[in-house]
Amino acid sequence: MNSNKYIGKILIVDDTPYNLKVLSNLLIQKGHEVRQALNGEIALKAVEADPPDVILLDILMPDMDGYEVCERLKACEKTANIPVIFLTALDDIEYKVKAWSFGGVDYITKPFHFSEVLVRIENQISISLLQKNLQTTNQQLEAEKQKLEQINARLLKENRELLSWIDRICYRIKLPLQSILTNLKRLFDRYQSKIDSEHKIYFQQTIEAAISSQYLMNSLGDYARAIAPPIPSELQPIDCENIIAEVLKNLAPDIENTGANITYANLPNIMAEPQKIKQLFANLLGYLLKCGSSGSARKIELSAEYREFPSPANPLSASEETSAADLMNKSPKIDGEWLLTIHDNDMVIPRQDYGTIFDIFQEVYESPEDRLIGMNLVICRKIVESYGGCLWIESTPGSGQLFRFTIPSNYCQ
């Protein structure tokens, strides 16, 4: 016998001692642990005391037949999942159907061949063992899930505390920086006529350093909030078109200065944190307005399309009919993602900058304002990534530049 084979615990219930003895001896020879019961009451007590892996149950017994024993076993949560194999001389189909209806898993008629009985018993023992292992695995997975939920809750709490701490630190630093900057400017304005050109340069460098530090403090708080994962309780239904309308009002002076014509249509409804999404659009549009040229021919267009993920049943194509119906509400429920595009017909970003423009602390900008713009793009990428999406740049020769980013369907309203 295979030493790795599981030794089953088997209970045989039969009111004929000879049948019990013969079948028990054969199963014991195969290495199984066997117990016997001469009637239903003894069987129920034996199962309650030590549940077996399989029960071989005779149907025709006095006082309590096999059907009633099986019915009582299935009514008890502790014993309901123990497989019951009926053993009987009754061979009519109605008895077999009745056995199945009472919860039996198999039916063997007498006289039987032991090899057949053994195979059926060991099959049920294997199934029972697999079910127990599966139950244990599920319990372990549930325990791990609860641990992960606790860890996630703790991380969210710690993240909030960190954000609060960063805000307080930035505030404490920005106040003295503002005081330093204000006093430097006052001193320079008052004494610039008495300061030689060399020392004027020192003043200007110090003032610029203070302004850069202010930008850095502002960006630090924004960056910390951008990388934080969305908090479910703070997600709100958002119409991106309403957000864009607000952003364009705030950017009105820059739009007027550049003469750019900004249009948008069919933007989605999503579940998100309004301030983050507003900052995302403001930073991207602000970057284009500050870095592009001016003129009435300047056009910036915002658009969106829903990309359905291929289904397992049809991995080569998506359901266009379903997608079109869902898109009518701008809130599709099928698996996929929104692809949002900001197209500037004038902007051109050198291809060699594609790999670094979203990298943090790239020292490629000349002024504090340029450094702020660079940090704003980093923050945009982190906002998109916090929702499980991606942000990138594309360009088509002669047609300008594209900012593109995705938002997964699980953030659809």
pLDDT score for 279: 92
CA distance 104 to 71: 9
Mean of the per-residue pLDDT values of the chain: 82
**Mean pLDDT within 325-346:** 72
> Does 219 score more than 60 pLDDT?
yes
Could you read off the pLDDT of 278-333 as tens digits, one per residue?
Answer: 999 999 999 888 887 766 678 999 999 998 876 554 444 444 444 444 444 555 55
Exposed/middle/buried for 119, CB within 10 Å: 0-12, 13-18, 19+?
A: exposed
Indicate the angle between helix axes 274-291 and 240-250, nearest 10 degrees. Answer: 50
CA distance 38 to 44: 11
pLDDT score for 310: 65
SS3 322: helix
pLDDT score for 137: 92
**Mean pLDDT within 189-205:** 86
pLDDT score for 197: 85
Could you read off the pLDDT of 363-412 as tens digits, one per residue?
Answer: 444 454 555 566 788 889 989 998 999 999 887 766 788 899 999 988 87
CA distance 297 to 43: 91
Residues 308/318, Cβ–Cβ less than 8 Å: yes
pLDDT score for 323: 43
Could you read off the pLDDT of 79-103 as tens digits, one per residue?
Answer: 998 999 998 887 788 888 888 888 8
Cβ partners under 8 Å of residue 393, min gap 6: 349, 354, 357, 401, 402, 403, 404
Residues 104/96, Cβ–Cβ less than 8 Å: no
- Residue 62, number of CB atoms within 10 A of its CB: 8
Which two tokens mark 202? 């020192």
CA distance 54 to 8: 8
Could you read off the pLDDT of 46-65 as tens digits, one per residue?
Answer: 999 999 999 999 988 888 99
pLDDT score for 333: 55
Please tell me whether the overall predicted TM-score, pTM, comes out greater than 0.85 for this model.
no
Between the alpha carbon of residue 367 and those of residues 184, 215, 316, the distances in Å are 19, 11, 49
Between the alpha carbon of residue 29 and those of residues 22, 25, 40, 227, 300, the distances in Å are 11, 6, 26, 66, 84
> Does 232 score more than 60 pLDDT?
yes
